[in-house]
Chains A and B, each alone.
Chain A
Amino acid sequence: MRRIRDNDFSTFLPFRATGQRITLLILIFLSTALFVIGKTNTGLSEKARASLADVTVPVLDVLSQPILALDWVAKRVVDMVFVYRENDQLRENNRRLMDWQTEALRLQQENDRFQKLLNVKNDYGKTFITPRVVADASGPFVHAKLLNVGETDGVRKGQVATDDFGLVGQIVAVGQRSARLLLLTDLNSRVPIFVGAKQHPAILAGDNTRFPTVVFLPVGVQVAPGDLVVTSGAGGVFPPRLPIGRVVSSNDDVVRVQLFSDSDRLDFVNIVEFRPPPRLEDPRTQSDAAK
């Protein structure tokens, strides 16, 4: 066989030394331009991202199967090792939860009765599809996941996703067969919340750490570690009363939240269908329009 030497490859390269340097400079200029355009016009890069995700998601869907299988095996082994200890713990939990169940049923009946009396209209949203997480779209500055459902499955931008424990995040981009889920920990995630039993309104803001921060708490309000954090439903994007997490103590003076959802081990998420209440027209703007 003919030996391949380094200079053989030059037949395929139209440029040498200087030409290569010019190409490099042009490409550096091009990527800088893209970066600047992306900063000023985010819509364009979002569109490119969504269409690319459509192509890559089916591939990732297949590729992630072996990892799922491995994960399954690893979980089985761990389960086997701890089976006795876990069994004892489960029995104990079961006893405790039985008491809670009785209490919950009683409260639910009571709540139903009160709601009927007061004629309350509730819309907590309901799950309509449970897609699989096929890829991590995260980095040191983005926390997101790619899902294997898209527009054709009825998924829309702005819908929210939960796992078995609580709110996970919000759909921020939808392609034909793929969707991007922005996690609560992401820098750009903002969720209207209630904190504690007194339901102090605030905003949950991600900052790329594992514990999102609570901002815009009313002045003078004190929150304590352990306080429950749920969605408030303000703004009509998130369904109200979805559990999010608990306040944890932190060494800086920001209030931080430990999430119930487990974004490290996300395999499936529930997309929640929620129709926000119709927007009320402001009578002042209406009269302005009539003039």
Chain B
Amino acid sequence: MKPGVLQYVDTGFRMVTPVVLAFLMLVISRLPFGIEGLESAMPLLTLIACYYWTIYRPALMPSIALFFLGLLQDLVTGGPLGLMALVLLLVHWVVDAQRRVFLGKSFVVGWWGFGLIALGAEAVIWMLASIYYDQLMVVRPFAFQFMLTVAIYPCFAWLFSLVQRAIVK
């Protein structure tokens, strides 16, 4: 039986949900929360989205979406254009190659893997920013951002698993 138009629309909506959610998270993370020190160490929510979907549903987070997500992040944070896009794509590449290691494993393994990936990503961001601004960046905010991102990972992994269950029945 050929699927009808409505079914295509339905599938389409389900497909774009993770990407739209990631965009929303990015916008919300830019709001002025007024919490001391948070502004320069705001967790990299896009990195969580990139990691999670690349492992569990790579088709729902294609590289082109990651590219635009990263580009938008660079534009709103005022960082070097292309930096986050590059980092997200690299993470996508590395995680995609290793996804069999994490698939079907316990949550803690996934969290541990994310910690390693986030550490690598933060190091690359630090390096690229240092190159861009022609000087070594102060490491502290990067370290804080890394710790916050890893600490907040379980919340978003849980949220994504709910979304995943809702859209892929």
CB distance from B1 to the nearest CB of A (A): 9
User: Which listed residue (A2, A59, A140) contacts B141, Cβ 8 A?
Assistant: A140
| Residue in A closest to B92 when the chains form the complex, CB atoms | A24
Which interface residue of B33, B39, B89 has the most chain A CB atoms within 10 A? B39
**Total A-B Cβ pairs within 8 A:** 183
Q: Say yes or no: A33 contacts B82, CB within 8 Å.
A: yes
Q: Which A56-80 residues sit within 8 Å CB-CB of chain B? A: 56, 59-60, 63-64, 67, 71
| Residue in B closest to A63 when the chains form the complex, CB atoms | B31
Q: 1/0 per residue A123-139: CB within 8 Å of B?
A: 00000000001111111
CB distance from A33 to the nearest CB of B (A): 7
Q: 1/0 per residue A253-291: CB within 8 Å of B?
A: 000000000011111000000000000000000000000
Return chain B residues, CB-CB under 8 Å to A56. Answer: 27, 76
Interface SS, A side: helix
Q: Does B30 contact A (CB under 8 A)?
A: yes
Q: 1/0 per residue B131-169: CB within 8 Å of A?
A: 111010110111011000000000000000000000111
Q: By the criterion of a CB under 8 Å from any partner CB, how many residues of chain A are at the interface?
A: 64
CA of A187 to CA of B85 in the docked complex: distance in angstroms?
22
Q: Does A152 contact B (CB under 8 A)?
A: no
CA of A283 to CA of B34 in the docked complex: distance in angstroms?
52
Pick out which of these stretches binds chain B: A4-12, A83-91, A109-117, A217-225: A4-12
Q: Does A97 contact B (CB under 8 A)?
A: no
Q: Say yes or no: B11 contacts A27, CB within 8 Å.
A: no
Q: Say yes or no: A144 contacts B78, CB within 8 Å.
A: yes
Q: Does A165 contact B (CB under 8 A)?
A: no
Q: Say yes or no: B64 contacts A27, CB within 8 Å.
A: yes
User: Which listed residue (B41, B81, B85) contacts A140, Cβ 8 A?
Assistant: B41
CB distance from A206 to the nearest CB of B (A): 11
Pick out which of these stretches binds chain B: A45-53, A154-162, A228-236, A241-249: A45-53
Q: Say yes or no: A137 contacts B59, CB within 8 Å.
A: no
Q: Does A207 contact B (CB under 8 A)?
A: yes
| Residue in B closest to A264 when the chains form the complex, CB atoms | B36
Return chain A residues, CB-CB under 8 Å to B34. Answer: 67, 71, 264-267
User: Which listed residue (A8, A28, A180) contacts B90, Cβ 8 A?
Assistant: A28
Return chain A residues, CB-CB under 8 Å to B75. Answer: 48-49, 52-53
User: Which listed residue (A2, A53, A180, A264) contacts B37, Cβ 8 A?
Assistant: A264
Return chain B residues, CB-CB under 8 Å to A135. Answer: 30-32, 76
Interface contacts beyond A24-B89, A138-B42: sample of 19 additional A-B pairs, CB < 8 Å, sorted by A: A23-B64, A24-B92, A24-B93, A27-B67, A27-B89, A30-B85, A31-B67, A31-B83, A64-B32, A135-B31, A136-B30, A136-B32, A136-B42, A138-B78, A141-B129, A143-B40, A188-B133, A208-B40, A267-B34
23 contacts between A and B (CB under 8 A): A2-B3, A3-B169, A9-B59, A11-B11, A13-B62, A20-B63, A23-B64, A24-B63, A35-B86, A35-B128, A35-B132, A45-B80, A53-B75, A60-B27, A63-B28, A71-B34, A134-B31, A137-B76, A139-B42, A140-B137, A187-B133, A187-B135, A208-B138
